[in-house]
Amino acid sequence: MTVTANSNASNQTELISAVIDGIEIRVPKGTLIIRAAEQLGNQIPRFCDHPSLAPVAACRMCLVEIDGMPKPQPSCAIALTDGMVVKTQQSSEVAAQAQAGVMEFLLLNHPLDCPVCDKGGECPLQNQAMTNGRAESRFEEGTKRLFEKPININSEILLDRERCVSCARCTRFADEIAGDPTLELLERGAHQQVGTADDRPFESYFGGNTIQICPVGALTSATYRFRSRPFDLISHNTICEHCSSGCSTRTDVRRGKIMRRLASNDPEVNEEWNCDKGRFAFTHTVIDRISTPLIRENGELRAASWPEAISFAAAGLKGKRAGVLTGGRLPQEDAYAFARFARVVLNTNNLDFRNRTSSDEEAEFLANHIAGSGLNVSYRDLETADVVVLVAFEPENESPIVQLRLRKAVRNNKLKVIAVDSAAAPGHEKLSAELHLAKPGTEAAALSALSDKLKGRNAIVLVGERAAASAGLLSAAVALSDATAAKLAWVPRRAGERGAVEAGLLPNLLPGGRLLSDATDRAAVAAEWNVQQLPTAIGLDQKGMVQAANAAKLDAFLVAGVDVTDVAYHDDFKAALAKTFVVSLEPHYSSVTDYADVILPVGVITEREGSFVDWEGRERSFTAAMHQSLALSDARVLHLIANELGIKFADDAKSAALHKSLTELKSTTKKPAMTKVSAVESAGLVLAGLRQLIDNGSLQNGEAHLAATAREAVAKVNAKTAADHGLIDGNLVVLEAPGGTLVIPVEIAAVADQTIWLPLNSDGSTPLINLGITIGDSVSVKDAGAYVV
Amino acid sequence: MTKLVPNLSAHWDEADSHTLTGYQRHGGYTAMKKAFELGEDGVIAEVKESGLRGRGGAGFPTGMKWGFVPQGDGKPHYLVVNADESEPGACKDIPLMMLNPHSLIEGVIIAAYAIRANYAFIYIRGETPHPIRRVRQAVAAAYEAKLLGKNILGTGFDLEVVVHSGAGAYICGEETALLDSLEGRRGQPRLKPPFPAVAGLYASPTVVNNVETVASVPAIIKNGAAWYKSFGTEKSPGIKLFAVSGDVLRPGIFEAPLGITMRELINYAGGMVSDRPVKFFVPGGSSVPLLTPEHLDVPLTYEDMAAHGTMLGTGTPMVFDTSRSVTKAVVRWIEFYKHESCGKCTPCREGTYFMVDILKRLEKGKGELADLDLLVDISAQISGRSFCALGDAAATPIPAALKYFREEFESKLVGAK
């Protein structure tokens, strides 16, 4: 045996030598017998054992004989020691009989409903009953204990209690991994069952994992239940499109239809978990789809052929002052195609992927510190760090796998987490985080004060997309990192954002981390694109483009993956779209297609290949799960428009070619230092908030079961602010801003002074839409009386 | 005839035996002073020397258990008294707590002092409110008399005692399940190692001792290890409460040296209740294999019981005369274990369910010969495979019952004459 490649040379563990079934094996000290046996190709049967969960030795399926011990021992809970002699079922009659006995017991009260059970065909109980069980039952005349058929443990997960073998994997997952110990074993003896507190569902963003690790069919998914048999499914390796965590997932397709999505095991990234959004929210791929190109004529959309629509779009864009807006859904290669199209075809640097609150400071930060920085901070680094500082970033909602990895490090490695944010969140508690509450606009000062806690320690600073809403915060984060040698990483919320940075989808940034302001960088990109020169003037960002269009300084928009309600200035945005020629590349009808002059339907994520770049900077490539789809990628559509305008690129705009081209542009040149930006604090009460993991996001459309697991939307203020503004815990509050009003229940909680915290896009809480303001903007509030449910 | 040696039970006939006054009238709370003079390690050495073994059933040497507690580790240490007496047939700790609670409290003080614990918990079976009230009163009286609390007797030793009521689960008599329960969790046994002596209550070094074990300590300290060792045998030294129940004339508690025989205990209990002779007996609660009249003269010691395929257990014999059915007794015992199985491990949870299913069939006269072998098989599949001793206990009745009374089982099968 060799130590795994990832082990640190200075940290090599002592090897011990033992014998399993007569074969000598050398393994690191502390290796469990069951793991060591796996390395010999010997799968000792097991139910409660799971490599990511602490051993419990409850199911007793993995009993083996150990020399010198009078009774068979659970191999899942005992570490191999030097000189130990172990006999498994392969060489010991005692072990084989012990296992067969346990299997007989497990099947006693287990129903014989495999033919209708979701797990049938991929069931560890079924499989191990075949390998380690007896052919015939001796419980023929017995009466099985029965339970009422299935109960919901939450809206997404159903429990068939009579199928449960009490392995406690689900409850241990909830407690150890997710930190949501609201799933428990109840009752005792044969009536022991998994359950929740009375009238309380199992509340977790990660609950779906319990379905996947259940070794029987006790936990099933409300959406997948009875829909398919495992052997009818074709599985595809995919990457989750929902956030920047970069989870490796498995998409199971049956006759051209996605049936379910599971977490794949990727030890460097998501280990073997994913969040419920990643697992369950895939209906968006099939609903509200645009099936044919559409052209607006006399205010009405009509179907058009591809050639007609392409030439219509090309004619509309030709010679116009145009801007390019993309959202977070694009794979890196399509983002690159937009970046190239803007510069070469539209001759502009007016392009921005940030359909959210953003700033010039952020654009500079991304260009100088993130673009081209590669795999600077990784999940593994989080696990080995001494301190991690979360800045305007709440991982449980905004990048849930980061949350799980941090929690693992907090539990196992004594990682210290410090959070600088406007409000406390349940996720902070699960990380035992030291919380520094700061009113939006004042985070920079709070962050700078942490310097002493980071110096001389292995520290990492993670900033989120909300940092852009607070002037000076990103430059303060850079300054802190410089002063303390802490590593710095940016964790955007959307899956495509880091890829868009790498692809140069910013007004100041070219692909490969090359700066628009740098003549050498410009020349390199121009050469790659086979053009004489690139537009040199720094372009407009999204808000700038909207203002320009409304001032009749911009004539056309090329838009993909954007929802106008994601920004506070949505009214201006709509007006801008209404005034200009809009080419919309979308799979679905959206708030932008409402204003589009031509709509070019593109494929959804499952119909295309490409790569996302996760927050670490790790490329996560995927192939099409629905490979028979005829839908085009954004890049191919842009290619057709470019061709129509007489511009030919050397490549065919297929993913592989674009990826190769982008890779060749990668630059590692040192970037100039960031401009220091001063903080701006709005007087009085300001808005704070974040987008909750499960909310009204359009990629979650059509998933009622998932939507019901969302956290309830409430406004939060601290006691002092409540008193100052006459707000009463549990009552309704009315928020007022120039854009309108919003009424929502209010709760006294740990929030920064003079700050009212709201979910930004949840049912009953859409302040950007209702109030037209965003994080850090002033808002006035007053009590609106009792909240009657 | 082995003589009874009333020690813990010496003054149970006095009306105020449960009060501080009653206890002190006979030298109560003087052993603790001697203990303070001996010093912590001196007490541990004395208890080790006495050979006292755990009276909760397993018989682990008490002094050795105390010695396992790491010293100078900077963590708080805890003493936990297991007063969750729930086993069918066992009824010795509850009377002891009712009639002599101060011997327990003095024992707690000495034991806690020895293991450097400043907190002690007495976990009493929740279904029995009387001893809970009695021990609480006694603890309050001890606090009143400054025998508990801060700076006890000016020694600088602090001890807080908490009397905790269980919630009605037999499994909580298992020491690690008891600790989970005490911490406010659902009582289920913990994976060992770590053992409680290293990581017990609140993950700190903890000693869990049975009531009778702890209550025996004051007399050992007061009279010396040599006095205690003068009773019993070399491997089973000392005296013990034997709670005799069943078909005897005067069921009750008899305090005697280990090594007394069942025949002698039955004599002390006034003989059998009728002229029907002994058919079978269990020496130590339902968790130990049964014995027959041929074993009436085997000394009741840890080693002699083991030599005869059973265990001394809690030392609470149940005696059954010839009017009793072995099958019925076995069915009731195993039903008890099925009801009390915590559900954590498969063999105990499902095995007891399986056995009861078959035994019920036998009781109804619907069993077949193969069922008897199946019962033995199931017992073997539980024994030594379960997570804790509850499963092992559930597997004990069948093999012994079938060994000695197979004909009786066979007589109830389908087609039997």
The CATH number covering residue B306 comes to 3.10.20.600
Residue B59 and residue B157 share a domain: yes
pLDDT digits (tens, 9 = 90+) for A198-227: 888 999 999 999 999 999 999 999 999 999
Nearest residue in B to A100, CA atom: B381
b or e along A282-319 (b: 16 or more beta carbons within 10 Å of the residue's beta carbon)?
bbbbbeeebeebbbbeeeebeebeeeebbbbbbebbee
Query: Has residue A172 been placed in a domain?
Result: yes
Residue B149 and residue B42 share a domain: yes
Residue A303 and residue A273 share a domain: no
CA angle A245, A689, A481 (to 5 degrees): 55
Residue A255 and residue A390 share a domain: no
Q: What is the CATH number of the domain that holds B347?
A: 1.20.1440.230
**How far, in Å, CA of A50 to CA of A5, rounded?**
22
Residue B211 and residue B86 share a domain: yes
Q: How many helices, marked H, and strands, marked E, lie in chain A?
A: 25, 35
CB contact under 8 A, A138 and B374: yes
Name the nearest CA neighbour of A489 among A610, A605, A405, A611.
Answer: A405
Query: Has residue B417 been placed in a domain?
Result: no
Residues of chain B with Cβ-Cβ distance to A145 below 8 Å are 353
The pLDDT of residue A11 is: 52
Burial class (CB in 10 A: 0-12, 13-18, 19+), B288: buried
- Mark out chain A residues that contact chain B at CB-CB < 8 A: 55-61, 63, 70-72, 77, 97-98, 101-102, 104-106, 108-109, 138-139, 141-143, 145, 165-166, 184-192
Instruction: Select the residue of B347, B358, B380 nearest A60 (Cβ to Cβ).
Output: B347
Residues of chain B with Cβ-Cβ distance to A70 below 8 Å are 384
Q: Shortest Cα distance from A70 to chain B (angstroms)? A: 8
Nearest residue in B to A72, CA atom: B385
- Are A679 and A524 in contact by the 8 Å Cβ rule? The answer is no
Name the nearest CA neighbour of A247 among A261, A234, A230.
Answer: A261
In chain A, what is the straight-line distance between the N-terminal and C-terminal CA atoms, in Å?
Answer: 62
Q: What is the DSSP string of A187-218?
A: S-GGG-EEE-STT-----TTTHHHHHH-SSSS
Residues of chain B with Cβ-Cβ distance to A166 below 8 Å are 343-344, 346, 349
The answer, yes or no, to whether residue B358 has pLDDT greater than 80, is: yes
What are A241's two structure tokens? 């499109």
Query: Has residue B9 been placed in a domain?
Result: no
pLDDT digits (tens, 9 = 90+) for A582-629: 999 999 999 999 999 999 999 999 999 999 999 999 999 999 998 878
The answer, yes or no, to whether residue B416 has pLDDT greater than 90, is: no
CB contact under 8 A, B341 and A61: no
CB contact under 8 A, B384 and A72: yes
Q: Shortest Cα distance from A625 to chain B (angstroms)? A: 41
Name residues whose C-beta falls within 8 Å of residue A712's C-beta, 6 or more positions apart in sequence. none
Query: Has residue A185 been placed in a domain?
Result: yes
The pLDDT of residue A681 is: 84
ipTM (interface pTM): 0.95
Query: Has residue B202 been placed in a domain?
Result: yes
The answer, yes or no, to whether residue A719 has pLDDT greater than 70, is: yes
Query: Has residue B415 been placed in a domain?
Result: no
Q: What is the CATH number of the domain that holds A157?
A: 3.30.70.20
What pLDDT band is residue A305 in, cutting at 50, 70 and 90?
very high
Q: Average pLDDT over chain B, rounded to whole?
A: 96
Q: Which helix (H) or strand (E) holds B257?
A: strand B252-257
The answer, yes or no, to whether residue A691 has pLDDT greater than 90, is: yes
What pLDDT band is residue A4 in, cutting at 50, 70 and 90?
very low
pLDDT digits (tens, 9 = 90+) for B77-89: 999 999 999 999 9
- Are A758 and A689 in contact by the 8 Å Cβ rule? The answer is yes
Q: Please state, for a pLDDT cut of 90, what percent of chain A lies above it.
A: 92
Domain final residue, candidates B321, B339, B360: B321
Residue B298 and residue B336 share a domain: no
Q: Does B171 touch chain A (CB under 8 A)?
A: yes
Domain final residue, candidates A617, A632, A665: A665
Residue range B292-298: mean pLDDT, rounded: 97
What are A96's two structure tokens? 């084989």
Strand boundaries in A230-346, DSSP class E? 234-239, 248-254, 257-263, 294-297, 300-303, 322-326
Q: Does B368 touch chain A (CB under 8 A)?
A: no
Q: Which residues 336-355 of B have a C-beta within 8 angstroms of A?
A: 338-347, 349-354
Residues of chain B with Cβ-Cβ distance to A73 below 8 Å are none
Q: What is the DSSP string of B271-307?
A: SBSSSPPEEEEESSSTTS--B-GGGTTSB-SHHHHHH
The answer, yes or no, to whether residue A789 has pLDDT greater than 90, is: no
- Are A583 and A610 in contact by the 8 Å Cβ rule? The answer is no
- Are A474 and A463 in contact by the 8 Å Cβ rule? The answer is yes
**How far, in Å, CA of B105 to CA of B108, rounded?**
5
Query: Has residue B11 been placed in a domain?
Result: no
Residues of chain B with Cβ-Cβ distance to A188 below 8 Å are 169, 171, 340-343
Give me the phi and psi of B297, to 5 degrees please: -105, 10
Residue B340 and residue B299 share a domain: no
Q: Does B215 touch chain A (CB under 8 A)?
A: no
Name residues whose C-beta falls within 8 Å of residue B255's C-beta, 6 or more positions apart in sequence. B4, B5, B6, B7, B8, B9, B10, B239, B240, B241, B242
CB contact under 8 A, A139 and B191: no
Query: Has residue A675 been placed in a domain?
Result: no
**How far, in Å, CA of B254 to CA of B269, rounded?**
8
Residue A618 and residue A558 share a domain: yes
Residue A547 and residue A466 share a domain: no
CB contact under 8 A, B349 and A189: yes
Name the nearest CA neighbour of A508 among A527, A534, A475.
Answer: A534
**How far, in Å, CA of B54 to CA of B258, rounded?**
13
**How far, in Å, CA of B43 to CA of B66, rounded?**
10
* Domain hosting residue B90, numbered range: 20-229
- Are A66 and A86 in contact by the 8 Å Cβ rule? The answer is yes
Other Cβ atoms less than 10 A from the Cβ of B165: the count is: 18
Q: Does B376 touch chain A (CB under 8 A)?
A: no
Mutate to test the interface with A, among B337, B349, B358 (most CBs of A within 10 A): B349
DSSP, collapsed to helix, strand or coil, labels residue A422 as coil
Name residues whose C-beta falls within 8 Å of residue B306's C-beta, 6 or more positions apart in sequence. none
Query: Has residue B234 been placed in a domain?
Result: no
* Domain hosting residue A176, numbered range: 146-285
**How far, in Å, CA of B397 to CA of B280, rounded?**
12
Give me the phi and psi of B165, to 5 degrees please: -95, 130
Name residues whose C-beta falls within 8 Å of residue B13's C-beta, 6 or more positions apart in sequence. none
The pLDDT of residue A136 is: 86
Residue A447 and residue A414 share a domain: yes
**How far, in Å, CA of A20 to CA of A18, rounded?**
7
pLDDT digits (tens, 9 = 90+) for A527-567: 999 999 999 999 999 999 999 999 999 999 999 999 999 99
Residue B141 and residue B250 share a domain: no
- Are B126 and B4 in contact by the 8 Å Cβ rule? The answer is no
CB contact under 8 A, A106 and B339: no
DSSP, collapsed to helix, strand or coil, labels residue A639 as helix
Residue A598 and residue A451 share a domain: no
- CA dist list (Å): A764 to A760, B113, B119: 10, 61, 51
Instruction: Select the residue of B340, B342, B347 nearest A105 (Cβ to Cβ).
Output: B347
Does residue B151 come out as left (phi exceeding 0), alpha (psi in the -120 to 50 range) or beta?
left
Q: Shortest Cα distance from A185 to chain B (angstroms)? A: 9
Residue range A86-111: mean pLDDT, rounded: 96
Residue range A262-275: mean pLDDT, rounded: 97
The answer, yes or no, to whether residue A682 has pLDDT greater than 90, is: no
Is the Cα dihedral A273, A275, A277, A278 positive or negative?
Answer: negative
Number of residues that this document lists for chain B: 417
Domain final residue, candidates A451, A475, A494: A494
Residues of chain A with Cβ-Cβ distance to B338 below 8 Å are 189-190
CB contact under 8 A, B346 and A105: yes
Residue A115, CB-side half-sphere exposure with 13 Å CA sphere: 1
Q: Which of A673-677, B198-202, B283-287, B322-326 has the lowest mean pLDDT?
A: A673-677
Q: What is the DSSP string of B168-189?
A: S-GGGGSHHHHHHHHTTS---P
pLDDT digits (tens, 9 = 90+) for B24-61: 999 999 999 999 999 999 999 999 999 999 999 999 99
The pLDDT of residue A6 is: 41
The pLDDT of residue A2 is: 34
CB contact under 8 A, A189 and B353: yes
CA of residue B42 relative to chain centroid, distance: 26
Residues of chain A with Cβ-Cβ distance to B350 below 8 Å are 105-106, 108-109, 190
Q: What is the CATH number of the domain that holds A304?
A: 3.40.50.740
**How far, in Å, CA of A779 to CA of A721, rounded?**
13
The pLDDT of residue A12 is: 64
Query: Has residue B204 been placed in a domain?
Result: yes
Residue B113 and residue B87 share a domain: yes
Residue B257 and residue B399 share a domain: no
Q: Which of A606-620, A663-677, B229-243 has the lowest mean pLDDT?
A: A663-677
Query: Has residue A135 been placed in a domain?
Result: no
Write down the pTM of the prediction.
0.95
Number of residues that this document lists for chain A: 789
Q: Please state, for a pLDDT cut of 70, what percent of chain A lies above it.
A: 98
**How far, in Å, CA of A465 to CA of A780, rounded?**
25
What are B166's two structure tokens? 């269980």
Beta carbon pairs, A and B, within 8 Å: 99
Domain final residue, candidates B270, B299, B321: B321
Query: Has residue A30 been placed in a domain?
Result: yes
The answer, yes or no, to whether residue A7 has pLDDT greater than 80, is: no
CB contact under 8 A, A98 and B342: no
**How far, in Å, CA of B255 to CA of B58, rounded?**
19
Nearest residue in B to A76, CA atom: B191
The answer, yes or no, to whether residue A10 has pLDDT greater than 70, is: no
**How far, in Å, CA of A633 to CA of A654, rounded?**
8
Residue A661 and residue A541 share a domain: yes
Name the nearest CA neighbour of B258 among B314, B302, B306.
Answer: B302
CB contact under 8 A, A139 and B381: no
Domain final residue, candidates B298, B321, B344: B321
Q: Shortest Cα distance from A59 to chain B (angstroms)? A: 5
Query: Has residue B266 been placed in a domain?
Result: yes
Residue A484 and residue A393 share a domain: yes
- CA dist list (Å): B385 to A72, A101, B196, B223, B333: 7, 9, 22, 43, 20
The pLDDT of residue A575 is: 98
Domain final residue, candidates A238, A264, A285: A285
Residue range A265-274: mean pLDDT, rounded: 97
Residue A776 and residue A726 share a domain: yes
Q: Average pLDDT over chain A, rounded to whole?
A: 95
What are A312's two structure tokens? 């219509």
Residue B256 and residue B157 share a domain: no
Residue B210 and residue B111 share a domain: yes
SS3 content of chain A, % helix, strand, coil (to 5): 30, 20, 45
pLDDT digits (tens, 9 = 90+) for A368-419: 999 999 999 999 999 999 999 999 999 999 999 999 999 999 999 889 999 9
What's the domain count of chain A? 5
Query: Has residue A34 been placed in a domain?
Result: yes
Helices (H), A485-569: 497-503, 519-529, 542-550
Residue A85 and residue A34 share a domain: yes
Q: Does B60 touch chain A (CB under 8 A)?
A: no
Name the nearest CA neighbour of A265 among A281, A253, A248, A251.
Answer: A248
- CA dist list (Å): B45 to A585, B12, B79, B117, B230: 84, 30, 18, 17, 17
Q: Does B362 touch chain A (CB under 8 A)?
A: no
Query: Has residue A121 been placed in a domain?
Result: no
Residue A236 and residue A167 share a domain: yes
Residue B53 and residue B190 share a domain: yes
What's the domain count of chain B? 3
CB contact under 8 A, A105 and B171: no
Residue B258 and residue B194 share a domain: no
Q: What is the CATH number of the domain that holds A744?
A: 2.40.40.20
pLDDT digits (tens, 9 = 90+) for A491-521: 999 999 999 999 999 999 999 999 999 999 9
What are B141's two structure tokens? 């009286």
- CA dist list (Å): A45 to A51, A62, A122, A162: 14, 5, 15, 21
What pLDDT band is residue A172 in, cutting at 50, 70 and 90?
very high
What pLDDT band is residue A788 in, cutting at 50, 70 and 90?
confident
b or e along A657-676 (b: 16 or more beta carbons within 10 Å of the residue's beta carbon)?
ebbebbeebebeeebeebee
Query: Has residue A674 been placed in a domain?
Result: no
Give me the phi and psi of B214, to 5 degrees please: -65, -40
The pLDDT of residue B417 is: 65
Residue A101 and residue A43 share a domain: yes
